[in-house]
Amino acid sequence: MDGQPDEVDPAEAADRAQWERARQVREAREAQEHQRSEGRAIGEVPAPAPPAGASKRWAVVAVAVAAVFVLAAGVMVVVIRRHSDQQPAWVAQLGLDTGVTNADRPPARLGTPEPGDTADSSVAGSAVPSSPPAADDAPTIDTTGENFDHVYRQIETLEGWLLTDPQPDRVAEIYQPGTAPYADLVTQLTQLRDAHETLHVENYRIIGVTVDSRPAPDRVELRYADTFTDAVTTAAGSGAVVSRVPYDGRARLWTLTLQRGDDGHWRVAATAFVRYGDVVPPS
C-alpha cells in the first residue's frame, strides 16, 4: 500500500549486516597499519644534502642512471599493460591487477585463522551459524573435461562439504596425493574429525577462474579469485559455535595447478597466494 515502507527480507538484511561487519574489520586493520607506518616515519632521518661543490662528472653519471631507470620503467609499463590485456575483466574490476603491498600476508586458503587473527570467543556456545551446509550425503561432482572453471568449482563443492563432514580418506578424490595441498587438507580434516568439530566458511564465493597456461596435456595452470566473510567452527554433535574468525571481505587472488590422473579426473596439485583485492559486496 502507498505510504508504507517496503518490507525488508530478513535474510538479505542479515547478509548485508555481516558484510558491513567485514568492512569494519578491514578498516580497523588499515587503521592499525597506518599507525605503525606513522611510528616508523617518526624515526626516519632525512638524508644529508650533497655538497655544493659536487663534480660535474657525478652529475652526468646521475643523469645517465636516471635515464636508465626511466627506460626500465617504461619497459615495465609496457609489459604490465600487455599482461593486463590478457587478463579477464574481473581481475581489474576487483583491484587484483595491483602489486602486493607490505601489509599483505598469505592467508589461510580454507578459512582457518590467519597469523595474527583472533577468534571471537564471545560467540562460543551460541546457536549454529546462519545457513550451515547440510552434512548428509556427499555431493556428486564431475571433475573431467576441459571446462576448467567448471572443474575447479566442482572441486570446491566437495571440499566445502568435507569441511562440514570431515573425511580425510576422500581428499584423494580432489587433491593429488603426495603434494603439499593434499597434506594440508588431510591434516585439517583429521584435526576437525578428532575434535568432533566442523568448519563453515560463510558466504564463500569463487569470483572468477581463468587459465594461465597449459604446460602439458594433463597439467594446467589456473588463476582464481574468491571471498568469504566468517570462518565458523562448530561442535559436530550439537552445532554449537565453538569460535568465529571474521574476515574483511577482500577478494583473494590465487594461482592453482590441476593435474589430470589416469582416471581422467583433474585434481589440485599446487596452490599459491598472489594478492588481495577490493572488498566484494554482497551480490
One-letter amino acid for residue 169 of the chain: D
- Provide CB contacts within 8 A for 214, sequence distance 6+: 220, 221
CB-based burial, 1-11: b 16+ in 10 Å, e otherwise: eeeeeeeeeee
The 10s digit of each residue's pLDDT in 138-174 is 899 999 999 999 999 999 999 999 999 999 999 999 9
Whether the Cβ atoms of residue 222 and residue 206 lie closer than 8 Å to each other: no
Domain spans, the chain: 82-279
User: Distances in Å between the alpha carbon of 201 and those of 32, 186, 215, 219, 283?
Assistant: 25, 17, 32, 29, 17
Dump strand ranges (E) for the chain. Answer: 197-201, 205-216, 219-227, 230-235, 241-246, 250-260, 266-279
Closest listed residue to residue 128, CA positions, set 236, 234, 228: 234
- What percent of the chain has pLDDT above 90? 44
What confidence score (pLDDT) does residue 68 get? 55
CA 250 to CA 11: how far, in whole Å? 22
Whether the Cβ atoms of residue 254 and residue 275 lie closer than 8 Å to each other: no
What confidence score (pLDDT) does residue 2 get? 55
- Whether 265 shows a pLDDT value over 90: the answer reads yes
DSSP per-residue string spanning 199-223: EEETT-EEEEEEEEEEEETTEEEEE
The 10s digit of each residue's pLDDT in 91-144 is 877 777 776 554 556 777 775 544 444 445 444 444 444 444 454 588 999 999
Q: What is the CATH number of domain 82-279?
A: 3.10.450.50
CB-based burial, 250-280: b 16+ in 10 Å, e otherwise: bbbbbebbbbbeeeebbbbbbbebbbbbebb
What confidence score (pLDDT) does residue 67 get? 61
| DSSP element (H, E) containing 64 | helix 56-86
The 10s digit of each residue's pLDDT in 190-236 is 999 999 999 999 999 999 999 999 999 999 999 999 999 999 999 99
60/127: higher pLDDT: 60
Question: Residue 62 — pLDDT band, cuts 50, 70, 90?
Answer: low
pTM over 0.75: no
- What percent of the chain has pLDDT above 70? 66
What confidence score (pLDDT) does residue 144 get? 98
Question: Residue 49 — pLDDT band, cuts 50, 70, 90?
Answer: low
